[in-house]
Amino acid sequence: MIGTGPIRIGRDEWALIRNDPTTPAALVRRMHPGTEFEHYRVVTFDIDPAERRLIGRFRTLEAADRAVRYTVPAGRIRPALNLIPKGAWGKL
């Protein structure tokens, strides 16, 4: 696992690293700090800010971090996890 948590890049901003150690997977910004409306806005990372997409808004930085998933490379899932036992779905 490459990413171990949010990397602070500003007073109210964090980068989240996942599979690629050289490029963030997402950016987090704390909105309305110190008020009852404080929350963390998470967007996907892209060099072009116009291409970033909202992942969600979360009440804690930890929840924001958990919302950004790691990518599992194709072929890395053990075959046993992909098997459906015979008869599990009835007659198809």
Assess if residue 27 is contained within a domain.
yes
pLDDT digits (tens, 9 = 90+) for 6-64: 999 999 999 999 988 899 999 999 999 999 999 999 999 999 999 999 999 999 999 99
Assess if residue 66 is contained within a domain.
yes
- Length in residues, the chain: 92
Assess if residue 23 is contained within a domain.
yes
Tokens of 48: 């072009």
For 64, phi and psi rounded to 5 degrees?
A: -65, -45
Assess if residue 21 is contained within a domain.
yes
Assess if residue 82 is contained within a domain.
no
Q: Say how many domains are in the chain.
A: 1
State pTM to two decimals. 0.75
Q: How far apart are CA 71 and CA 4, in angstroms?
A: 15
Assess if residue 30 is contained within a domain.
yes
Q: How many CB atoms sit inside 10 A of residue 30's CB? A: 17
Cβ 37 vs Cβ 57: under 8 Å: no
